Chains A and B, each alone.
Chain A
Amino acid sequence: MRARVDGMHNRRSRGCCGEPSPRSRAKILQVLNFFCLALVLLGTVAVQSPAQVTFERLLNSAKEPQNWLTYSGDYAGRRFSPLDQVNTGNARTLVAKWVYQTAATGKLETTPLVVDGILYGTGQDDRAFALDARTGRPIWLYQRQLPNDIRPCCGRVNRGFAILGDKVFLGRLDAHVIALDAKTGSLIWDVAAFDYKLGYSFTAAPLAVKDLIVIGVSGGEYGIRGFIDAYDAATGARRWRFYTVPGPGEPGHETWEGDSWKIGGAPAWITGTYDAATNQLFWPTGNPSPSNRGEGRAGDNLYSNSLLALNANTGKLNWYFQYTKHDEHDWDATQVPVMMDIGGKHLIAQANRNGFFYVIDRSTGKLVLANAYGKITWSDSKDAEGRPVANKNASPTLEGHTVCPGAIGATNWMSPAFDPQTGLFYVTAREQCDTFSTAPQPYEAGHAYYGSAYFPSDEAEPYVGALRAIDPMSGKVKWEFPHVSPSWSGVLSTAGGLLFTGDAEGNFIALDARSGKALWHFQMGGEVYASPMAFAVDGKEYVAIAAGSALYAFGLP
């Protein structure tokens, strides 16, 4: 195992004893030659070096179900594994195979990638690791000392890597994007996207598309101006940036009052999806700033809380759909949008934080249906295009009043799953209403900028949660699996007819994807703030999830 710690010293000056002399260098070369010879001789037993992860492999991820190549498992965002070795018939025999401890405090939100037997994960404080996916034994570790004054909103979290070629890519809390050598964890390039002191950070896993690394910024609590960036995977050079808040002269700029656009928020802190047929990225955006106060930013506040269809080559906007106009409840639309083709229609579906399940025609950006999948009180009507419209009582007041869903939303960033076998969309839902309060607050660079906050509501029922199965054709909830308290776990569906999810009480649960019946569970001893994934090595299927400060892998005995 090799530990890589860059940052305090630059790489060239790491050695305390200076560069090796020419003579000792010659000796080193001799030794290396010997080892090379030995490796050639031992070639038959050496583990094969992983092949390059090409764009073609990412496009055709279904052809290599043993690997998990992108945050959501495929470009469609389905979080569906074609593996079926673990299935409804044998799930009850699942056992823990290994546990990897990050030995860090705080939430572990990673979805690891697996390529040809090696697992790549990220953790708290932007640490990162590569493990032998069969055993959980580390191959390399990466961590850099972060500045003391970074401004993460909601914990020092990271959700995962992107992989392309022989590099893995990570967005850091100090608003840098970096590339690491997938074999060693060595830093290849490091680019500062923005000044972290102003509240910009990265928490989401990037998405590799063609030769680009695409990532959305975090910081909707700090009055940032949101953006989605694309970097050259080879060099780190920025190829395009799409500002999610339009500047003067750009369409949509008129939806912001005065100078409010400069600090308008609209971050993009979850990984989007990609449609190769149209070369479009579908990327959702977050709340306008300040999150709990609409005064001072009159207008729809485009493109906050929207789904954006961007040309992958240029970052040019093709169309947008705004889920929540002029949001005052912190209802980021940062939920993975899932592409599905049903009845010849090219659709994209999202279970939104505002409590509605939306299906959109992804060719046009037009709404197909919007249906509530939990308790909502903010809307009781729809406009001519079928979009839910906020009622008069929804806006926060100084002393506050109760609105459903609450500030955390009917769901949040945890991944949904779409199972092509059942045709159902699965989402972790939360039933929570909150008292929303608002108060004037001046913007001060780098300081939290909420315009007040939210509180538990006197009128509210106890908070509960559920995994809900939604029929995307009707938007109706078919069944639910109740959680004792709301869960921050995403959902994985597999070709074995199974769903996997975690809960706030530390259970990892396998369910029948058709009925929602629990088939197996394991107590992991830590709350889940992550989404599960599946992979296979040597013909054996594993299902992995983070809980507490550890990553767990399960398989058949």
Chain B
Amino acid sequence: MAAAACAADDRNPLAGDPKAAKAGEYEFRINCALCHGLGARGGGRGPDLTRAHKRHAHSDADMFQIISNGIPGTAMPANGTNAQGVGMTDDEIWELITYIRSVEVKAPLQPIGNAAHGKELFYGDANCSLCHMVNGKGGRLGPELTAVGGARTVEAIKESVRNPSRRLAWGLTEPSKEFAQQYETITVVTAEGKEIKGVALNEDHFTVQMMDTNEQIHLLEKDKLRSFKKSRESMMPKYDASVLSDKDLDDIVAYLLSIGAQ
């Protein structure tokens, strides 16, 4: 009850308490690490929370709100509603926030590359925008990337450029299972003998919804197809160092970070 009253006061009653931070670490491992990684250093789909700058939460009260209610339109669930972990009490949420604050890296983020050059590459020679959209400009076949800089670690972004299929293979639990199905490569042959290749938008046992490389949406019943093939090999080409240098990759990541932080 005391904690709930403090929530209205916008203050963390446990701020800076090392014992609370330790208790919060247990809560973190149980409830948050699945996406945000051990040590809050970020995972395959949750941002690195050791960054002092957070996209959705500035104050402890913001963070309390987000942990309690989730973030609509993202994989971040409301407290107690994800398959992982348990529902936390108000006190436990404050402990968790105290823990996250205790592992934040206070030093300002070093710029990792030249964002302006990264933007040129993104819309130019690197061909990223043929399939990816940022701020309403670009293609639709791949994931929209406006927010990716705030939502993924630098390592995760780099890896998904160097080895795009690996990220597709990440196993995920139910609340975000659509993430696992999205962007799988689907190849079908229709009853008329037409081959269509594209990415899955959704799929169940009986139907598939997909987008082909011309951004046409196809709504198909599997039992009416001549063949149906699904692959975890991403349609995105592998950008190895001979295609995209480490420096250019840094610049593109710097561009995505600059956008994602906005």
Spell out A's residues near B (CB within 8 Å): 105-106, 149, 151-156, 221, 399-400, 408, 432-434, 437, 439, 441, 444, 447-448, 450, 452-458, 460-463, 482-486, 488, 503-507, 509, 518, 521, 523, 527
Measured in the bound complex, the distance between the Cα atoms of B92 and A482 in whole Å is 40
| A-side interface mostly | loop
Structural contact, B171 and A457, CB atoms closer than 8 A? yes
Q: Which of B115-123, B136-144, B200-208, B241-249 contacts A (4 or more CB under 8 A)?
A: B200-208
Structural contact, A448 and B206, CB atoms closer than 8 A? no
Return chain B residues, CB-CB under 8 Å to A452.
29-30
Structural contact, B29 and A450, CB atoms closer than 8 A? yes
Q: How far is the CB of B222 from chain A (nearest CB, A)?
A: 10
Measured in the bound complex, the distance between the Cα atoms of B23 and A506 in whole Å is 38
Chain B residue with the shortest CB-CB distance to A291: B30
A399-B38, A485-B177 as given contacts; A507 in contact with B204, CB under 8 Å = yes
Structural contact, B86 and A483, CB atoms closer than 8 A? no
User: At the interface, yes or no: B239 with Cβ under 8 Å from chain A?
Assistant: no
Chain A residue with the shortest CB-CB distance to B28: A453
Number of interface residues of B (CB under 8 A): 36
Chain B residue with the shortest CB-CB distance to A400: B38
Return chain A residues, CB-CB under 8 Å to B260.
none
User: At the interface, yes or no: B129 with Cβ under 8 Å from chain A?
Assistant: no
Measured in the bound complex, the distance between the Cα atoms of B84 and A434 in whole Å is 13
Q: How far is the CB of A178 from chain B (nearest CB, A)?
A: 22
Measured in the bound complex, the distance between the Cα atoms of B248 and A492 in whole Å is 57
Q: How far is the CB of B224 from chain A (nearest CB, A)?
A: 14
Chain A residue with the shortest CB-CB distance to B88: A448
Interface centre among A149, A485, A523 (most CB of B within 10 A): A485
Chain A residue with the shortest CB-CB distance to B184: A462
A-B contact count (CB 8 A): 106
Spell out B's residues near A (CB within 8 Å): 23, 26-27, 29-31, 33-34, 37-38, 43-44, 80-81, 83-89, 92, 169-174, 177, 180-181, 203-206, 232
Structural contact, B171 and A448, CB atoms closer than 8 A? no
A505-B204, A521-B205 as given contacts; A462 in contact with B180, CB under 8 Å = yes
Structural contact, B33 and A453, CB atoms closer than 8 A? yes
Chain A residue with the shortest CB-CB distance to B80: A155
Structural contact, A152 and B169, CB atoms closer than 8 A? no
User: 3 closest A-B pairs (Cβ-Cβ)?
Assistant: A505-B204, A456-B171, A460-B171
Return chain A residues, CB-CB under 8 Å to B84.
453
Structural contact, B205 and A507, CB atoms closer than 8 A? yes
A-B contact pairs, 14 of them (CB 8 A): A106-B81, A447-B92, A448-B30, A448-B85, A448-B86, A455-B34, A456-B170, A456-B171, A461-B169, A461-B171, A462-B169, A463-B180, A483-B205, A485-B181
Q: Determine which of A399, A450, A458, A486 lies in contact with B30 in the assembled complex, contact meaning CB atoms within 8 Å.
A: A450
Q: How far is the CB of B237 from chain A (nearest CB, A)?
A: 21
Structural contact, B203 and A453, CB atoms closer than 8 A? no
Interface centre among B30, B43, B170, B180 (most CB of A within 10 A): B30
Measured in the bound complex, the distance between the Cα atoms of B181 and A479 in whole Å is 25
Structural contact, B38 and A437, CB atoms closer than 8 A? yes
Q: Determine which of A434, A457, A462, A505 lies in contact with B232 in the assembled complex, contact meaning CB atoms within 8 Å.
A: A462
Structural contact, B174 and A527, CB atoms closer than 8 A? yes
Measured in the bound complex, the distance between the Cα atoms of B171 and A433 in whole Å is 9
A152-B87, A399-B38, A463-B180 as given contacts; A455 in contact with B30, CB under 8 Å = no
Measured in the bound complex, the distance between the Cα atoms of B204 and A432 in whole Å is 18
A432-B171, A485-B174 as given contacts; A151 in contact with B86, CB under 8 Å = yes
Structural contact, A221 and B205, CB atoms closer than 8 A? no
Interface centre among B27, B29, B38, B172 (most CB of A within 10 A): B29
